[in-house]
Amino acid sequence: MKKLRIFGLLAMMLALCLALGCDGSAERGESLVLTDTEDDSNTPINRPGGGGGSGSGGSGGSSGGSSSSQRVIVIQSEEDMAKIGVASSHPLSCRYQLSNDITLTDWPGVGGGNGTFSGTFDGQDHTITLNGLEISNNTVAVLGSNALAGIFPRAEGATVRNLGVIASVSIDTAIPSHLSVGIIAGYARNATLQDITISGNVSVRNNGEDRRLYLGGIAGLAEGNTTIRRCRNEAQIDGFGRAGSGAYNQVGGIAGRFQGGTIIASCENTGNISGETAGAGTNVFVGGIAGGSSYGLSPTFNGRIENSWSAGDVHAEGGGYWSWAGGIAGAIVGSGTNIVRSHASGRISVRGQSGTLPYVGGIVAHVFYAALVDQCYFTGDVVVEGTDVNDYAGGIAGYNSRSNSTIRDSWSSGTVSGFRNAGGIVGQNQIAARLLRCYSMADIIVNAPASGSPIEANQGAGGIAGFTISSEEDGLANNVALNPSIYAPNGFVTLGRVFGSNSAIYVPPEDPPPGSAVHRNNYAWSGMTVSGADISPNANGRDGADCVEKPAQAFYSGLGWNFSNVWQMGSQGYPVLRWQTQDN
């Protein structure tokens, strides 16, 4: 019996030692809690190449520790938060729980603005009021040196969850480096950020010459096997950066820039998002969910946005070269990089200087190098502001190009208003692109006069595409234009019911010469009005074959539309996507 008691005492002492901290020590009087709390997610995240996990049980959260006997440190105040990564009792790799609402003022970030957070922070549905962020001492080398700002400036292998943040943040700086700002994480790598809501106002300006800005409601720059899931932004977010010479400023409601396999899933944005730049050769990408993926001439997988939506207004302006705005993202690039089962509304607008190239799309401004938009819809207004611009405007995407980039099984309504280019689904359907099984009910407007032509763009306006040159078999196939009108108030003449033009005025110098455009088996509502145009119905031509305003399901099935898994007929007589929660 004595031996059993001794063994029992030893076991109790061992359990107490395990409870004393991530590093085996603790300050006296500190609140300690033994817990079995784990990530409640049971939704798998699948990445190409098998590099994913689920919630904090995947690669994103394992560094924070998952042992049920590991100590949880309770955070009750700003003073407690300031100990993380500074006091030996509060390692950056430990597990933390917020026990009540707190306020952080002029916050430099955990670790006093130094070090990398790799632990777990569970807000337990409490709220942090964030009155100001300071640029931390932390940096990360991604396309140059990036200064960081966020509650956790640098989070790698970390988990942050179950948290609300009311943000009042204004940063105006001219530091000699790029800048990455996220209310939760300035930089997130292999991290899990989930069940977080951001509200308030966020304004960040990086005024240094040739300096990038990555700005997001949750993360400024997200890469690797990072998962951002069930997060919501309600804040107004405004960003300004002067990136030029082939560099990009990226601003988004959830993430500024994503790359390297990041998954953004089941996220929402209701805040208004804007991005601005200035100077020769500058560029800015803005999106309701993300500013965009890594951008370049490469099919490398960057990540996915899925099951997400945005209802806020999105605006980009000032680019000396490119200004891009998308309801969900500014751009997606690379094989496997996609936006799926997502939707947007609101006013999506772009203002370009004379002679520049503004891109705007209801879902995404640019689909590039084998990227995919699948089962998405837009119900709002797409607008190009300004005149004498080389614009790309579409109800789903502004531009679709290269390596079989694809837009499929998607629809739009509302209005698409461009200067020389506008399409109900895509503004420009360029070489090696695919556009199939889509329909649009959007009113199309082009505001250019009859005279004049673009310098570095192709013009035209149509119910599905403004311009198309793809010679792929499904370059423009099995689509249905149900638009009420294609309207040109100032005399623009390159108009058609399905597409406006298939004659290239401009081909990028790095592109191969275009072949003959393929456009087949497309239809248009016979009651559509087209300003001053003679209509020539032809399923393989510019105006498509005639159809009624509300074709029956059998009509769409005859075009190869999948009514078993993708589409269903709505109560208003138009197809809707099966995953939609609202009827049409």
Q: For residue 582, what pLDDT is reported? A: 53
Place of tokens 């401009």: 506
Tokens encoding 64: 């924070």
Q: Is the four-CA dihedral 8, 12, 14, 18 of positive or negative sign?
A: positive
As a whole number of angstroms, the distance between CA 481 and CA 558 comes to 16
Structure tokens given for 242: 């002067």
170 strand-pairing partners: 203
Q: Residue 2: left if φ>0, alpha if ψ -120 to 50, beta else—which one?
A: alpha
**28 phi-psi bin (left φ>0, alpha ψ -120 to 50, beta other):** beta
What distance in Å separates the CA atoms of residue 148 and residue 154, rounded to the nearest whole number?
A: 7
By the 8 A CB rule, do 119 and 95 touch?
yes
pLDDT in tens, 284-305: 999 999 999 999 889 999 999 9
Q: Which residue has the tokens 């004659």?
A: 503
Closest among 339, 199, 197 to 265, alpha carbons compared: 339
**pLDDT at 181 (0 to 100):** 98
* Listed residue (224, 225, 226, 152) closest to 183, CA to CA: 152
Give the C-alpha separation, 195 to 582, whole Å. 23
Task: Give a yes or no: residue 461 inside a domain.
Answer: yes
Beta-bridge mates of residue 393: 360
Which one-letter DSSP state was computed for residue 5?
H
Query: 204-220 as b/e, with b when 16 or more CB fall inside 10 Å?
Result: bbbebeebbbbbbbbbb
Angle at 112 between CA 109 and CA 113, to 5 degrees: 55
Q: How far is CA 512 from CA 347, 370, 476, in A?
A: 35, 16, 19
pTM above 0.85, yes or no: yes
Which range of residues forms the domain containing residue 462?
Answer: 401-412+432-549
Q: For residue 4, what pLDDT is reported?
A: 42
Q: What is the 3-state secondary structure (H, E, C) of 220-270?
A: EEEECCCEEECCEECCEEEEEECCCCCCCEEEECCEEEEECCEEEECCEEC
Specify whether the CB–CB gap between 306 and 357 falls below 8 A. no
Dist. CA 289–CA 266, nearest whole Å: 10
- In this prediction, residue 456 carries a pLDDT of 60
pLDDT values of the chain reduced to their tens digit, one per residue, 584 residues = 444 444 444 444 444 444 445 644 444 224 444 333 334 443 444 444 433 333 333 333 333 333 334 789 999 999 999 999 999 999 999 999 999 999 999 999 999 999 999 999 999 999 999 999 999 999 999 888 999 999 999 999 999 999 999 999 999 999 989 999 999 999 999 999 999 999 999 999 999 888 999 999 999 999 999 999 999 999 999 999 998 777 899 999 999 999 999 999 999 999 999 999 998 889 999 999 999 999 988 999 999 999 999 999 999 998 888 999 999 999 999 999 999 999 999 999 999 888 889 999 999 999 999 999 999 999 999 999 988 899 999 999 999 999 999 999 999 999 999 999 999 999 999 999 999 999 999 999 999 998 766 666 689 999 999 999 999 999 999 999 999 999 999 999 999 999 999 987 766 666 666 668 999 999 999 999 999 889 999 999 999 999 999 999 999 999 999 999 999 999 999 999 999 965 54
Q: What is the DSSP string of 322-357?
A: EEEEESSEEEEESTT-EEES-EEEEEEEEE--TT-E
User: Residue 64 has what pLDDT?
Assistant: 36
Distance CA 110, CA 161 (A): 16
Q: What is the C-alpha separation between 288 and 363, in angstroms, rounded?
A: 9
Give the pLDDT score at 453.
66
Q: Does residue 169 sit within a domain?
A: no
pLDDT tens-digit map of 347-402: 999 998 888 899 999 999 999 999 999 999 999 999 999 888 999 999 999 999 99
Q: What is the pLDDT of residue 509?
A: 66
Q: Tell me what pLDDT residue 402 has.
A: 92
Q: Is residue 482 part of a domain?
A: yes
Neighbours of 451 (CB within 10 A): 9
Token pair of 203, please? 């304004």
3-state secondary structure 189-232: ECCEEEEEEEEEEEEEEECCCCCCEEEECCEEEEECCCEEECCE
Cβ proximity of 451 and 421 under 8 Å: no
Q: Give dist(CA 383, CA 381) in Å, integer.
A: 6
| Contact yes or no for 210/241 (Cβ under 8 A) | no
Per-residue model confidence (pLDDT) at position 584: 44
Domain count, the chain: 1
Whether the CB-CB separation of 207 and 240 falls below 8 Å is answered with yes
Q: Which amino acid is at 122?
A: D
Residue 472 falls inside a structural domain = yes
End-to-end alpha-carbon separation of the chain, Å? 75
Residue 122 φ then ψ, to 5°: -110, 115
- Quick check: 168 and 37 in contact, CB under 8 A? no
- Residues 442 and 444: their CA atoms lie apart, in Å, by 6
Task: Name the residue type at position 332.
Answer: I
pLDDT at residue number 508? 67
